[in-house]
Amino acid sequence: MSTTTIRRRMNRTIGTLRTRLAREDGATTAEYAITLLAACGFAAVLVALLRSEEVQSLLMGIVTSALGMGG
């Protein structure tokens, strides 16, 4: 195989890689957006749980018990 042929193949491979990698330019931004959306959904579920009377009384019992043991 000649040097010219090897260089052509390398240039073609590099060009193909650049094209494939360039297609993912916005992927990072999309991943951050999806992560942020999931975090907001989780926060909404957590707020809904903490507003329920059952969870509030459970947490109050835990805090009261912990304070009672300390002193």
Specify the pTM: 0.48
Q: Is the CB of residue 56 less than 8 Å from the CB of residue 50?
A: yes
Per-residue pLDDT at 61: 92
Count of structural domains, the chain = 1
Nearest residue to 38 (alpha-carbon basis) of 26, 50, 30, 28: 30
**Digit-coded pLDDT (tens) for 6-33:** 888 888 888 888 877 776 666 678 889 9
Largest pairwise CA distance in the chain: 85
**Digit-coded pLDDT (tens) for 32-48:** 999 999 999 999 999 99
- What's the token pair of residue 66? 């912990």
- Structural domain span for residue 7: 3-70
Q: Tell me what the pLDDT averaged over the chain comes to.
A: 86
Confidence of residue 5 (pLDDT cuts 50, 70, 90): confident
- Rounded to the nearest angstrom, the gap between the alpha carbon of residue 58 and the centroid of all alpha carbons in its chain is 31
Q: Is the CB of residue 49 less than 8 Å from the CB of residue 55?
A: yes
